[in-house]
Structure 1
Amino acid sequence: MSDTLSDSALDRIFREARTPNGWHDKPVTEQQIHEIYELMKMGPTSANQQPGRFVWVTSDEGKKKLAACASDGNKDKILAAPATVIIGYDLDFHEQLPWLFPHTDAKSWFEGDEDARKESAFRNSALQGAYLMIAARALGLDCGPMSGFDKEATTKAFFADQPRYRADWLCSLGYGDMTTVFDRSPRPEFGTFNKVV
């Protein structure tokens, strides 16, 4: 895999991508949701754990329920966005490892160690959420990631049927109103937080 993406693709995914605070009234379709997932699931996770669990909130009823769990600054964003994804994780993801990672008995690595499962699920589901954002941008959508919400209330509201799932963060998706974008915050130069040894 040696080809470099075009500058326009890199601009779309990274350099010119922005986080909108408002959205155009244009839906995110179920087909688009499936296309995002088909891309994001290909991103690597440790031992192909795939611990992320996702709820794609698109209905007015779902938006109201989610907005009720959000901080005041995020309620209107959730209500206005065509879709908001709840990125969560499964504390018992290891139960799926026999078919997700059949090369060895990876399930045994996590049995009886919930702390290790939580750490791994948290890390790898966050990776999956990042892949989700990259996939959505690559497919022409804008993203609005959020952490201002009540995780416990969201878990109860949306994962009640799965008691081992936990909500972690949110990401709105759609066609951003670029008049609502803040000036870009600083991005550090390489030498600020990096070193090569």
Structure 2
Amino acid sequence: MTIHTELTDSLTLSEDAQDLLFRTARTANTFSTEPVSDEQLRAIYELVKWAPTSMNNQPLRMALIRSAEGRQRLLPHMAEGNRAKTESAPVSVILAADTEFHETLPRVFPHAPGAKDLFADAGGRAATARLNASLQVGYFIMGVRAAGLAAGPMTGFDAAGVDREFFPDGAWQSLVVVNIGKPGENPWLERLPRLDYNEVVSTH
């Protein structure tokens, strides 16, 4: 169902695309058995990689969980309420921040040859990685929706446990686990309200 607003025509994006990405898009809690292909996942990444990050640092990293063995490694670290949906999803993706992103800066940000040296401090580098990877998480969810798939992003999991299990070298830090697939039976919870424009915007 298309949701009409008086402001729809103020946007360049088509109304159908607005609905697909935002207004009618929902967080899925159940998934069908229809598979998600490697080509679909590749297409999602090839789209969202163009979205901006600070100094083009691109710290987001992804671990695809497809196999039964991989899923059994992940499930014990998920909050109890997130286990069933994660077990049923065709694919789950652990989205993580690479705290060693500065190693690729000379290649992805060649305009400033000394950019890598700006991130010599490990603490500041980790904070930058998490902030920018979190931006990329949002882009990734939009990319999943653009592919006609449903995303079920979750932060209810033991991040330290996931990191020990999947990223033992310590460089990658998990942020969000996203289940991906076609919606299953009764996939949606009640639609929750959003804050109004005047509640979040101030003009100076």
The interval holding the TM-score normalised by the smaller chain is: over 0.9
Aligned length: 193
Q: Does residue 93 of the first structure (1) align with residue 107 of the second (2)?
A: no
- So what's the TM-score if we normalise by structure 1? 0.94
- 162, 168, 183: which is aligned to 2:190? 183
Report SS of the residue matched to 1:5: coil
- Aligned residue among 85, 94, 115 for 1:106: 115
The residue identity in structure 2 corresponding to 1:16 is T
Which moves more between the two structures, 172-181 or 73-82?
Answer: 172-181
Secondary structure of 1:179's aligned partner? coil
Aligned-CA RMSD value: 1.2
Per-residue deviation at 1:133?
A: 0.7
Q: Counterpart amino acid of 1:57?
A: I
Instruction: Say which SS state the counterpart of residue 180 (structure 1) adopts.
Output: coil
Q: Which runs of 4+ in 1 moved over 3 A?
A: none
Do residues 192 (structure 1) and 199 (structure 2) align? Answer: yes
Q: Write out per-residue CA displacement over residues 70-127 of structure 1, whole angstroms, 9 at most, x where no aligned residue.
A: 010011111001111101011111111010100002111111x112111110010011
Identity %: 37
2:32/2:185 contact within 8 Å kept: no
Q: Is the 8 A contact 2:59 2:129 kept in 1?
A: yes
- Write the distance in 1 (CA, Å) between the matches of 2:23 and 2:185: 15
Could you tell me which amino acid in structure 2 is paired with residue 175 of structure 1? K
Question: Of 28, 36, 54, which aligns to 1:20?
Answer: 28
* C-alpha distance in structure 2 between counterparts of 1:87 and 1:196, whole Å: 35
Corresponding residue of 2:5: none
Shift of the 130–178 alpha-carbon distance from structure 1 to 2, 3 Å rule, reads farther
2:194 alignment partner, SS class? coil
Give 5+ residue unaligned stretches, structure 2: 1-10
**Map 1:7-46 → 2, pairs under 5 A:** 7-46=15-54
TM-score by length of 2: 0.91
Q: Alpha-carbon deviation of 1:178? A: 6.0
> The residue matched to 1:62 in structure 2 has which SS?
helix
**Residue 145 of structure 1: SS of its match in structure 2?**
strand
Q: Indicate the SS of the match to 2:203.
A: coil
The amino acid across from 1:168 in the alignment is L
